[in-house]
Structure 1
Amino acid sequence: MDPRMISVLIIDDHQVVREGLRSALIRANYQVVGEAASKNEGLAQVAHKSPDVIVVDLNLPDGSGLEIVSWARSVSKVIGIVVLTLNDEDDHLLAALQAGASAYVHKSAPIGEVISAVAHAFSAPLSFSSHGLSAALARKNVGFGLTSRELQVLALLPSGQTSSKIASSLFVTEATIKTHLSNIYRKLNAANRTEAVAIALSHGLLN
């Protein structure tokens, strides 16, 4: 789709970040439909303007950007959600994944990476893109031997998605997801999804 048909809302409390991102998106032919500097303003603008993609910081003056991510994903499965933040801790990245973000980009990344994340979020909103994901998952995985794909599947279990929905978000077949689930249960010594999530939470594999 022509980027000029894709609407983007920017949520960040730093004006210089908003202005820089707005300029870059306009140069890339995206339509910037609004800006917000706080969580509450961001929630209101998302509800009012129904953008195709939101770009949101985690640290906002009146709360966490994760609240916007979770709410936006709960009301729409097609909205693209890009987290753009200075936080590079594994827990923040994995929390964004579990909240329903489409992409996670550090503010030190080249602007081209941010634009690519916006494009990804629009085309595949229920998938997740981040350069740091594999390393973050690996650091959480000490002792269990889960593969990176199994960790991705595990991270999506708390959302209650069906095997079919998880398969769609990861671009694989439902049969493949069922195989991954079987391996996860075996490696965690869990009988079902609920047990797997409980064990993963207790060992820090999930936030």
Structure 2
Amino acid sequence: MKVLIVDDHVIVREGVGRLLAELDGIEYIEAEGLQEGLALFRKSKPDVVVLDINLREGSGLELLRRFMIEDPAAKVVVFSMYSDVVYATSARRAGALGYVSKSATSDQLVTAIRRAARGEPYVDSAIAGEIAVAAFSTAELIADSQLTNRELEILRMLADGRSMLDIGNALGIAYKTVANTCTRIKAKVGVDRTADLIRFALENRRNHIVG
């Protein structure tokens, strides 16, 4: 297995490199920034990329998106100082298979790399717990809000990226009826703007609560 490490901190690259060097069947190469990382990705075609979010030249998430454009099957593990659900979710949206905080154990990083190589997702235990709590809390919110079947249907369609006009046409109802229904949904789930409602729908589809 070939692993590309992209991190602008030498000590991190050396640490991850030493860890991988102790494992059978793994070789690694290093890059310190966006341009070098993209160039080595193209040249070496690694099995897995270990990528930091913060790079001196810009966002690691932007580089992740470039990887996914170059190769939609790219397998990337984000290795970040941020042990936060928001960052983990953003990385997943951008195409990462794994997310490991730099406060995690070396075993967790190795597990993430090996699972990514098999095309399996992995999030380190602390973040996974937070994601589970967030999903559970949202599930409770939807249950408590007592959305009707029609309201849930419209919420699912919003999560699919469909406009209110498109939803109305698909359901055979007027645009105004869809808009009024969305207003009721916003009041029930506690958001003010349509953009926030769409974000809410997307998040809950990812958590398998909506759709």
Q: TM-score range by the shorter chain?
A: 0.5 to 0.7
Partner of 1:201: 199
- After superposition, residues 106-145 of structure 1 pair within 5 angstroms as 106-124=101-119, 127-130=120-123, 131=125, 132-133=127-128, 135-136=130-131, 138-139=133-134, 142=138, 143-145=141-143
CA contact (8 A) 1:82 1:101 kept: yes
Partner of 1:186: 152
CA contact (8 A) 1:8 1:31 kept: yes
1:100–1:134 Cα change, 3 Å:
farther
How many Å separate the matches in 1 of 2:200 and 2:113? 34
2:36 is the alignment partner of 1:41 = yes
How many Å separate the matches in 2 of 1:79 and 1:190? 29
Give aligned-pair identity as a percent.
Answer: 27
> How many pairs are equivalent?
162
Code of the aligned partner of 1:194: G
TM-score by length of 2: 0.66
Code of the aligned partner of 1:186: L
Partner of 1:60: 55
1:121–1:96 Cα change, 3 Å:
same
How many Å separate the matches in 2 of 1:53 and 1:74? 15
CA contact (8 A) 2:50 2:77 kept: yes
CA contact (8 A) 1:69 1:101 kept: yes
Q: Give 1:108 shift.
A: 1.1
Give the alignment partner of residue 73 of structure 2, picking from 69, 73, 78.
78
CA contact (8 A) 1:97 1:128 kept: no
How many Å separate the matches in 1 of 2:94 and 2:156? 23
TM-score by length of 1: 0.68
CA contact (8 A) 1:93 1:133 kept: no
Unaligned 5+ runs, structure 1? 1-5, 146-182
Runs of 4+ with deviation above 6 angstroms? none
Unaligned 5+ runs, structure 2? 144-148, 164-193, 205-211
1:102–1:190 Cα change, 3 Å:
closer
Code of the aligned partner of 1:129: Y
How many Å separate the matches in 2 of 1:45 and 1:28? 22
User: Which of these two proteins has the greater Rg computed from alpha carbons?
Assistant: 2
Partner of 2:23: 28
How many Å separate the matches in 2 of 1:33 and 1:186? 47
Q: Give 1:201 shift.
A: 1.5
Q: Deviations over 1:40-77 (max 9, x none)?
A: 21111111211111100001001111112112122224
Q: Deviations over 1:100-128 (max 9, x none)?
A: 1010001111111111111001001xx43
How many Å separate the matches in 2 of 1:109 and 1:188? 40
Matched residue of 1:28: which SS? coil
Q: Deviations over 1:76-112 (max 9, x none)?
A: 2433211001012221110001111010001111111
Matched residue of 1:191: which SS? helix
C-alpha RMSD over aligned residues: 2.9
How many Å separate the matches in 2 of 1:191 and 1:35? 43
